[in-house]
Chain A
Amino acid sequence: FRYTRNLVDNGNGKFNLMILCWGEGHGSSIHDHTDSHCFMKILQGNLKETLFEWPEKKGNGEMTKKSERVLTENQCAYINDSIGLHRVENISHTEPAVSLHLYSPPFDTCNTFDQRTGHKHKVTMTFYSQFGERTVC
């Protein structure tokens, strides 16, 4: 009932390559990338990426949107923490979307941010499947 993260390759510990499957209306939280490089390529459908500024130290106001764009099939995007934070969402109510993500070095925790207040919250990311096998929590 949410987008799924499906690990495809872990590059001998140097990177994580995964496929994300987004149902209609599915979106991510605003998140950072734990000091790693992040590449994203759209394999099917469209994904909207909204970039945000890092909140002030004692964040207590609405987060500032920097820009937004809709990425279409085969388009690529890149982000890292020095560029900012982002939210990725499938805004279509009729089509699912599929994206390929490369994270280097790999990471399994990140911070999610509340758009209204800038408060951050550390989360552990999990995989729906790894190398084609369903991951049971």
Chain B
Amino acid sequence: LPAGLSQWFPALEVLDVSGTGLAEMGTELLSLPCLHTLLAKNNRLGGPGSLPKGLGQAPLARSLRVLNLSGNRFSEVPPELLRLRGLRSLSLGGNRLHSIPPDIQELQSLEFLYLGGNFITAIPPELAKLPSLRYLVLCDNKIQSIPPQLAQLHSLRSLSLHNNLLTYLPREILNLVHLEELSLRGNPLVVRFVRDLTYNPPSLQELAGRTVKTRNIPYTPSDLPESLVRYLSLASNCPNPKCGGVYFDSCVRQIKFVDFCGKYRLPLMHYLCSPECSSPYSSASQSSTSQSESDSEDEASVAAHRMQKVLLG
């Protein structure tokens, strides 16, 4: 960028330097107090010096709303970028990113995030800490799984996941009640029921602990070694809300298919306390299990109905 930029154009609000072969943007940016849109796509940015140091202290950190760095050579998100606290729209499409930094959560004003066409393999759960995120594009990457925390993105309207390496989705995806669009094509989603074969059977200690908890066997700290008292306090409730079971370290991942009225089946990953949890005879009391089984299927099909309109082919 030419030196003296901020002297000649102190009121500059929009700067488009796309397709100019730019390899670095330096301190000339730091003294532009009114800049809200910076478009620098299709350049040679990506090395050190792509963004100026001291960005966090510059007026730009609060004024910049839109940043487009698509079609460059970034192999990682530059840390300086994460100081742009006012940023609403960020595009890093068509770069060479292999990961998303957890500190992406610092961009608290972010509404639009485009990361399509990179080499991203995983999504950090911290991405879910962006309360205003409405539009998230992760298509054409190498993503193998979606963290269930992503369902905490309450503002999410559009999620683009097409052309990745997803075999299943977390069942929490049904919680995104405001989602209007979801693209999943071009993923190797399993179409047939696949039991997770890496389930490790629980230890004897775990089985004993489960029995103590589910049968409400009374005990006092003087009845057991301190280590076992502590162990018993760590019991987690089975995520299946209709199962009264608990687990300690051993839980089953099971794929259940949510049927979109017979037209499209989505494999959703459920976490359960045991392989028997979803069957009519679970480890909890037997009185309500077949009812609870169909209740949770009803919840799933209500959510499925909503999602059916959302799925893009």
Structural contact, A94 and B264, CB atoms closer than 8 A: no
Structural contact, A114 and B263, CB atoms closer than 8 A: yes
Closest to A29 in B: B313
User: Chain A, 16-49, contact with B by CB distance < 8 Å: what is the 0/1 string?
Assistant: 0000000011010110000000000000000000
Q: Which of A66-74, A98-106, A115-123 contacts B (4 or more CB under 8 A)?
A: A115-123
The DSSP consensus for interface residues of chain B is loop
Q: Which of B154-162, B225-233, B249-257 contacts A (4 or more CB under 8 A)?
A: B154-162
Nearest CB of chain B from residue A108's CB, rounded to whole Å: 18
- Considering only residues 149-190 of chain B, those with a C-beta below 8 Å from chain A are 157-158, 160, 162, 180-181, 183, 185-186, 189
Q: How many A-B residue pairs have CB under 8 A?
A: 59
Known interface pairs A25-B137, A29-B312, A94-B94. Does A121 touch B263 (Cβ–Cβ under 8 Å)?
yes
The residue from A2, A94, A114, A115 contacting B71, defined by CB atoms under 8 A apart: A94
Known interface pairs A25-B93, A27-B162, A116-B189. Does A93 touch B114 (Cβ–Cβ under 8 Å)?
yes
Q: Does B73 belong to the interface (CB within 8 Å)? A: no
**Within the assembled complex, what's the spacing in Å between the Cα atoms of A60 and B157?**
31
Closest to B135 in A: A1
The residue from A2, A93, A113, A119 contacting B312, defined by CB atoms under 8 A apart: A2
Q: Does A112 belong to the interface (CB within 8 Å)? A: yes
The residue from B94, B186, B191, B313 contacting A113, defined by CB atoms under 8 A apart: B313
On chain B, the residues within 8 Å of A112 by CB distance are 313
On chain A, the residues within 8 Å of B263 by CB distance are 114, 119, 121
Closest to A123 in B: B313
Q: Does B139 belong to the interface (CB within 8 Å)? A: yes
Structural contact, B116 and A93, CB atoms closer than 8 A: yes
On chain B, the residues within 8 Å of A114 by CB distance are 263-264, 313
Structural contact, A25 and B160, CB atoms closer than 8 A: yes
Structural contact, A119 and B264, CB atoms closer than 8 A: yes
The DSSP consensus for interface residues of chain A is loop
The residue from B71, B158, B162, B181 contacting A93, defined by CB atoms under 8 A apart: B71
**Total residues of chain B contacting the partner, CB 8 A:** 29
Structural contact, A24 and B313, CB atoms closer than 8 A: no
**Within the assembled complex, what's the spacing in Å between the Cα atoms of A117 and B263?**
9
The residue from B70, B162, B189 contacting A24, defined by CB atoms under 8 A apart: B70
**Total residues of chain A contacting the partner, CB 8 A:** 19
Most buried by B among A24, A91, A121: A24
Structural contact, B312 and A116, CB atoms closer than 8 A: no
Q: Does B42 belong to the interface (CB within 8 Å)? A: yes
Structural contact, A1 and B157, CB atoms closer than 8 A: yes
On chain A, the residues within 8 Å of B180 by CB distance are 1
Structural contact, B162 and A1, CB atoms closer than 8 A: no
Structural contact, B93 and A115, CB atoms closer than 8 A: no
Structural contact, B93 and A94, CB atoms closer than 8 A: yes
On chain A, the residues within 8 Å of B160 by CB distance are 25
On chain B, the residues within 8 Å of A92 by CB distance are 94
Nearest CB of chain B from residue A55's CB, rounded to whole Å: 13
On chain A, the residues within 8 Å of B313 by CB distance are 29-30, 112-115, 121
Closest to B191 in A: A116
On chain B, the residues within 8 Å of A91 by CB distance are 140
Nearest CB of chain B from residue A3's CB, rounded to whole Å: 10
Known interface pairs A2-B312, A114-B263, A119-B263. Does A93 touch B157 (Cβ–Cβ under 8 Å)?
no
List the 9 closest A-B pairs by CB distance, nearest first. Answer: A29-B313, A93-B93, A93-B117, A93-B94, A94-B71, A1-B158, A94-B70, A25-B116, A112-B313
16 of the cross-chain contacts (CB-CB < 8 Å) are A1-B135, A1-B181, A2-B158, A2-B312, A24-B91, A24-B116, A24-B137, A25-B117, A27-B183, A93-B71, A94-B41, A94-B93, A113-B313, A115-B313, A116-B189, A117-B264
Chain A residues in the interface with B (C-beta under 8 A): 1-2, 24-25, 27, 29-30, 91-94, 112-117, 119, 121
User: Knowing that A1-B180, A93-B117, A115-B186 are A-B contacts, what are 10 other residue pairs whose CB atoms are under 8 Å apart, sorted by A's residue number?
Assistant: A2-B181, A24-B91, A24-B116, A25-B139, A93-B94, A94-B42, A112-B313, A113-B313, A114-B313, A115-B185
